[in-house]
Amino acid sequence: VRERELIQTFTRPFGVARAPRGPGDDCAVLPPSRGELCVTTDAVVEGVHFTRRHFTFEDVGHKALAVNLSDLAAMGARPSWFLCALGLPARTPDGEVQALGRGMSRLARASGIALAGGNVTRAREWSVTLTCAGEVPPGRALLRGGAGAGDLLYVSGTLGDARLGLARLGTRRCPEAQARQRRPSPRLALGLLARPFASACIDLSDGLATDLVRLSEASQLGARLEVERLPLSAELSREMRGTAWRWALGGGEDYELLLAISARRAAGFERACRSAGERVTQIGRLTAERGVRCLDGDDRPVRAPAGFGHFSGI
Amino acid sequence: VRERELIQTFTRPFGVARAPRGPGDDCAVLPPSRGELCVTTDAVVEGVHFTRRHFTFEDVGHKALAVNLSDLAAMGARPSWFLCALGLPARTPDGEVQALGRGMSRLARASGIALAGGNVTRAREWSVTLTCAGEVPPGRALLRGGAGAGDLLYVSGTLGDARLGLARLGTRRCPEAQARQRRPSPRLALGLLARPFASACIDLSDGLATDLVRLSEASQLGARLEVERLPLSAELSREMRGTAWRWALGGGEDYELLLAISARRAAGFERACRSAGERVTQIGRLTAERGVRCLDGDDRPVRAPAGFGHFSGI
């Protein structure tokens, strides 16, 4: 009975955005997809990805969905449905579950993704594990491994803000960076826009330095990154001065896209971004020579800070 | 680096059963489905669903997949792919992750389901959250709500053994019941076989008493259950004597199927089960009159024990 009440409390704000034959049976039943299905699963866990002190449960609901949608964005996929598995401590107040549903449903509606089902279980700490699915026309998914030597590297938005926001949680400083930390914006529209132009794409969850290695290795290439080109917000530049690039390169949780675009498609891509109001910045290029080199304005190598990894402490 | 090693350790035993464009990108990319997609998510959590004292990590890997496959079985779906999200305590030994992968991959191979991707995150306790997908021809999924008044109720296998096994963990008694508790068998073949015959179906995860209420309410019907017909194993009959029916009715985690079959299809269904070697037992029927009545051999009502619910203690 308690389980059913918790599920109702959680699902209520999703309203008509729920899948028609979704919650309530042993499985959700979804219509055949015309395109290929892109699926991803990601979790946010109390004490690892958020703390009650610095995040509302609306923030947690938003962020849990946003980090999954960011993976769909990186494939150029259009969101279709998701499942939500909650781990809840004993005696979790209804208000927390309700706030989580509110924050998650708002982003779900804005992103055009429907809640199709889920699960709730007791656990020692709060956790939210989502599985998100989207569609792409057959053969058109943006993979990490499709880039060619000489392709230009672009990133969306600005980098390092979520890392700055993490450092400023609990203070009144850098409200925009704190918002980036609590409520990242998945770049779904850019992913769709980029599909005809990009040869490879990855979302920046663990920091540009780490994720660039992933993209270039998957494409069996190296990369040359011009650190002075990294797009920085006013807040990050002001707070960090000359070392802002370190967080732009090594800070995690940006949830921006890193895209490889062949030189002959670059002008068309930039034009399409401009007319769609999507900010992108060219930050370097892929090279036949393996390894990632980060260069300063005088073409001298700079040492990249270690990437961000929840497991780095193990 | 540690994260990548853990993922490799976990995925190695899955071998060629992995989806071709699965692990390694931001999303797994799956071919368009021809049928409808049935999707479900379920978690097993240390201290709630298992303890290290009584379960090996191979057991945990098996059980986590089995409880999800049981939901596919209940829809009459053919398994296709799954995603695995792990929550791991700091300093989790490789051997635990390896054993989990071994237990899970063995059942995955036997069930014809491919690991398509996953996620790993740090957490205070072990948890395994799976999302499983299967396919059914359009409009042919076995829902809970499709039964008619007068339909006969069947269950597969024997009931109450997992509950007995739970009570005997840590002893040498009732090895078969303990195996049912640790390594339940999802009734996938029966779900497929039943599709042309059944009007409604549910898997028994929370105890027959609870799950029968769910099926009959979803079908806007009541039910009449003959307690003396409940199929009991030799171990349960011997251990519990005259009260065995209480665990058959109220014990959870049977992962058998409860099926509604219209009277005119019953003979054909029984014949098909016999020739496929699937044990099913008729235990009652659905009624236009609402409410579930449990009757003894003299048609006197017996009081059903409360169902099994992880949240019942909250």
What is the tens place of the pLDDT at every residue in A50-93? Answer: 999 999 999 999 999 999 999 999 999 999 999 999 999 999 99
Q: Is the Cα dihedral B245, B249, B253, B257 positive or negative?
A: positive
Burial B52-64 (b: 16+ CB within 10 A, else e): eeebbbbbbbbbb
Q: Does residue A202 or residue B24 have the better pLDDT? A: A202
Q: Does residue A183 or residue A305 have the better pLDDT? A: A183
CB spacing of B311 vs A131 below 8 angstroms: no
Q: How far off is chain B from A38, nearest CA to CA, in Å?
A: 5
The reported pLDDT for the residue numbered B310 is 39
The reported pLDDT for the residue numbered B2 is 79
Runs of H (alpha helix) within A118-220: 161-168, 175-182, 188-194, 208-218
Q: Are A21 and A28 in contact (CB under 8 A)?
A: yes
Least confident of A182-186, B118-122, B271-275, B277-281: B118-122
CB spacing of B6 vs A117 below 8 angstroms: no
The reported pLDDT for the residue numbered B311 is 37
Which residues in chain B touch residue A6, judged by CB atoms under 8 angstroms apart?
A: 311
pLDDT at A205 over 80: yes
Question: Which one of A27, A80, A120, A130 would you mutate to disrupt binding with B, by most B Cβ within 10 Å of its Cβ?
Answer: A27
CB spacing of B144 vs A36 below 8 angstroms: no
Q: How far off is chain B from A19, nearest CA to CA, in Å?
A: 12
- pLDDT, tens digit, 9 for 90 and up, residues B13-66: 887 555 556 567 889 999 888 899 999 999 999 999 999 999 999 999 999 999
pLDDT at A313 over 50: no
- pLDDT, tens digit, 9 for 90 and up, residues B222-237: 999 999 999 999 999 9
CB spacing of B39 vs A116 below 8 angstroms: yes
CB spacing of B119 vs A6 below 8 angstroms: no
Which residues in chain B touch residue A85, judged by CB atoms under 8 angstroms apart?
A: 41-43, 85, 129, 131
Which residues in chain A touch residue B81, judged by CB atoms under 8 angstroms apart?
A: 39
Question: Residue B222 forms beta bridges with which residues?
Answer: B287, B291
Of B40, B48, B74, which has the smallest distance from its Cβ to A117's Cβ?
B40
Q: Is the Cα dihedral B256, B261, B266, B269 positive or negative?
A: negative
The reported pLDDT for the residue numbered B25 is 86
ipTM of the complex: 0.91
Reported as a pLDDT band with limits 50, 70 and 90, residue A302 is: confident
**Measured between alpha carbons, how far is B148 from A47 in angstroms, rounded to an integer?**
49
Q: For residue B180, give the nearest of B245, B280, B253 by alpha carbon.
A: B253
B204 HSE (CA, 13 A, CB side): 31
Q: Which residue of B has its CA nearest to A4?
A: B311
- Helix (H) or strand (E) holding B194, with range, is helix B188-194
Which residues in chain A touch residue B203, judged by CB atoms under 8 angstroms apart?
A: 26
Reported as a pLDDT band with limits 50, 70 and 90, residue A312 is: very low
Average pLDDT score over residue span A232-254? 93
Q: Which residue of B has its CA nearest to A46?
A: B123
Least confident of A267-276, A301-310, B68-77: A301-310
**Measured between alpha carbons, how far is A199 from A68 in angstroms, rounded to an integer?**
22
CB spacing of A75 vs B25 below 8 angstroms: yes
Which residues in chain A touch residue B128, judged by CB atoms under 8 angstroms apart?
A: none
**Measured between alpha carbons, how far is B232 from B121 in angstroms, rounded to an integer?**
41
Q: Are B314 and A91 in contact (CB under 8 A)?
A: yes
A195 HSE (CA, 13 A, CB side): 18
The reported pLDDT for the residue numbered B303 is 79
The identity of residue B72, as a single letter, is L
pLDDT at B305 over 70: no
Question: Residue B119 forms beta bridges with which residues?
Answer: B85
Of B25, B131, B145, which has the smallest distance from its Cβ to A83's Cβ?
B131
Q: How far off is chain B from A295, nearest CA to CA, in Å?
A: 24
The identity of residue A120, as a single letter, is V
pTM equals: 0.93
The reported pLDDT for the residue numbered B114 is 93
**Measured between alpha carbons, how far is B25 from B27 in angstroms, rounded to an integer?**
5
pLDDT at A226 over 50: yes
Task: Give the whole-number percent of chain B exceeding pLDDT 70.
Answer: 94
CB spacing of A27 vs B122 below 8 angstroms: no
The reported pLDDT for the residue numbered B29 is 93
Average pLDDT score over residue span B188-192? 98
The reported pLDDT for the residue numbered B21 is 63
Reported as a pLDDT band with limits 50, 70 and 90, residue B314 is: very low
pLDDT at A16 over 90: no
The reported pLDDT for the residue numbered B24 is 72
- pLDDT, tens digit, 9 for 90 and up, residues B55-113: 999 999 999 999 999 999 999 999 999 999 999 999 999 999 999 999 999 999 999 99
Of A36, A75, A313, which has the smallest distance from its Cβ to B26's Cβ?
A75
